[in-house]
A and B are shown apart, each in its own frame.
Chain A
């Protein structure tokens, strides 16, 4: 296969997705694609930090939910324009990222993973306890859409995903990405090579939290409501599984993983709540048979011109 094959495939995919509103009349199907884009943002932002530095974040929903609730508070409670939700959601998520990362990322051991898991769970509880402000189990509704036309919203989500993906991929394949991956490779050796590993881990977490929070705010203005399930373990685990399916540490693989799994979920609507069980089985199968994931190795194989890499 010639070297340009994979770029051809990518271009074809972008053209197909870019023209989707013209040949998909079913607005439900467009909605599924929008969901895939937003999960692509969640998964690739997770992978940027955890995939590259090897420090697993088990509570990415914390950042997604923080962004979404920030959007709801600003827009519903204070009447702020929905466009402010995106930077504000990202900013608030960064504050949470700093609060968790500063004390735990300087330590070895499972503290960071546990703190993220606990952080998401605590916030989910708080939304119920502080029901007067957060609407409790029912959450907050009545958010304004970012744009009113569904087609325009589709393109907005598509563009948002593309911009976030481009920024994260560029960062991941810059010198900074090299330093981050050296931390996953061997943290002590990275220190011995002059890398301030704590600083870079916290920096990567802040970038990850920012884009997840922005994605959460975007999601809130898509669903026009927010609820405590945004903080749920289901969201966190789904994001992790998407990254693993895509191929950990590649960032673009996570986008592909999000796409495949979101579309698959729609095919599996009939099984309802057993979805997570299915996801888990998929994850175990991937870890067993394709430990490097599905999407990223496929992409690399295309680069190698069809020969095994």
Chain B
């Protein structure tokens, strides 16, 4: 099977800090992959590199036949790679429907809906359960609703690969399951998903494969069960055992 995404030797340095250090991996189509790692491991930087928000110092990002490296964010979207943000970023002072409609105007999908972009936006709101709130201002929504808007907006551009940056962050227990169900439905529709998440239990249930990162490098790569047993991952998450008599 040919890879959907092929990342090779990706590197980004901020001053003296190497945030992403020679990261290479491939994603097969139709899979859900999790990225795991403590704060500062370079996960969000990796997302920003993949989506054109930050340009890498070196390395390649092959998506199908195109090299995404050097493309501006809106071009990456039009190639079929969409993302959500770690902290929901709605279009303030606009309605819920308008928030999704903006993404329905992306060049990639403009021809599909034949000018009926508001209908497309309504259909997407229906999918994430926000149709009754279409006319509301986004500024009065709960955080959980904003998360759903992020996903509807990312789906509006009809992505082949969806990058979710901590989609469950800040959600209550009752809000996680419906969102996880939406993510599973997307996978069943054949959309490949790359997901950063700290809520381990939810993520491990959702993904086929986990890539673990620490200090900008990939330290482990395997099935959820393998990763949960990997000593380096355990060490990076829970801290390695200190000798009892060790200094500090």
Find out whether the CB atom of B93 lies under 8 angstroms from the CB atom of A193: no
Tell me the complex Cα distance, A185–B154, Å. Answer: 16
Kindly state whether residue A192 has any CB partner on chain B within 8 Å.
Answer: yes
Given contacts A188-B89, A190-B91, contact A178 B102 (CB under 8 A): yes
Q: Considering only CB atoms and an 8 Å cut-off, how many residues of chain B contact the other chain?
A: 31
Kindly state whether residue B85 has any CB partner on chain A within 8 Å.
Answer: yes
Find out whether the CB atom of B77 lies under 8 angstroms from the CB atom of A194: yes
Find out whether the CB atom of A179 lies under 8 angstroms from the CB atom of B105: yes
The closest CB in chain A to the CB of B109 belongs to A194
Tell me the complex Cα distance, A184–B82, Å. Answer: 20
Q: Which residues of B contact A191 (CB under 8 A)?
A: 53, 72-74, 77
Secondary structure dominating the interface of A: helix
Checking B53, B90, B103 against A194 with a beta-carbon cut-off of 8 angstroms, the contacting residue is B103
Kindly state whether residue B207 has any CB partner on chain A within 8 Å.
Answer: no
Kindly state whether residue B98 has any CB partner on chain A within 8 Å.
Answer: yes
Find out whether the CB atom of B117 lies under 8 angstroms from the CB atom of A181: no
CB within 8 Å of A: which of B89-104? 89-94, 98-99, 101-103
Q: Which residues of A contact B102 (CB under 8 A)?
A: 178-179, 182, 190, 193, 195
**Shortest distance in angstroms between A253's beta carbon and chain B's nearest beta carbon?**
13
Kindly state whether residue A196 has any CB partner on chain B within 8 Å.
Answer: yes
Find out whether the CB atom of B91 lies under 8 angstroms from the CB atom of A186: yes
Find out whether the CB atom of A192 lies under 8 angstroms from the CB atom of B72: no
Tell me the complex Cα distance, A192–B85, Å. Answer: 9
The closest CB in chain B to the CB of A189 belongs to B89
Interface residue tally of chain A, by bracket? 10 to 19
Q: Which residues of B contact A192 (CB under 8 A)?
A: 51, 73, 77, 82-85, 89, 153-154
Tell me the complex Cα distance, A185–B93, Å. Answer: 7
Kindly state whether residue A134 has any CB partner on chain B within 8 Å.
Answer: no
Kindly state whether residue B107 has any CB partner on chain A within 8 Å.
Answer: yes
Kindly state whether residue B45 has any CB partner on chain A within 8 Å.
Answer: no
Tell me the complex Cα distance, A197–B77, Å. Answer: 13
**Shortest distance in angstroms between A33's beta carbon and chain B's nearest beta carbon?**
32
**Shortest distance in angstroms between B83's beta carbon and chain A's nearest beta carbon?**
6
**Shortest distance in angstroms between A247's beta carbon and chain B's nearest beta carbon?**
11
Q: Which residues of A contact B53 (CB under 8 A)?
A: 188, 191
Q: Which residues of B contact A175 (CB under 8 A)?
A: 105, 117
Tell me the complex Cα distance, A178–B98, Å. Answer: 7
Tell me the complex Cα distance, A179–B110, Å. Answer: 13
The closest CB in chain B to the CB of A249 belongs to B93
Tell me the complex Cα distance, A195–B156, Å. Answer: 13
Q: Which residues of A contact B83 (CB under 8 A)?
A: 192
Q: Which residues of A contact B (CB under 8 A)?
A: 175, 178-179, 181-182, 184-186, 188-197, 249
A-B contact pairs, 22 of them (CB 8 A): A178-B98, A178-B101, A179-B105, A181-B98, A182-B91, A182-B94, A188-B73, A188-B89, A189-B85, A189-B90, A191-B77, A192-B73, A192-B77, A192-B82, A192-B84, A193-B102, A193-B103, A193-B156, A194-B74, A194-B78, A194-B106, A195-B105
Known: A188-B53, A190-B102. 15 other contacts (CB 8 A): A175-B105, A178-B98, A178-B105, A181-B91, A182-B91, A182-B94, A188-B73, A188-B89, A189-B85, A192-B82, A194-B105, A194-B108, A195-B74, A195-B102, A195-B106
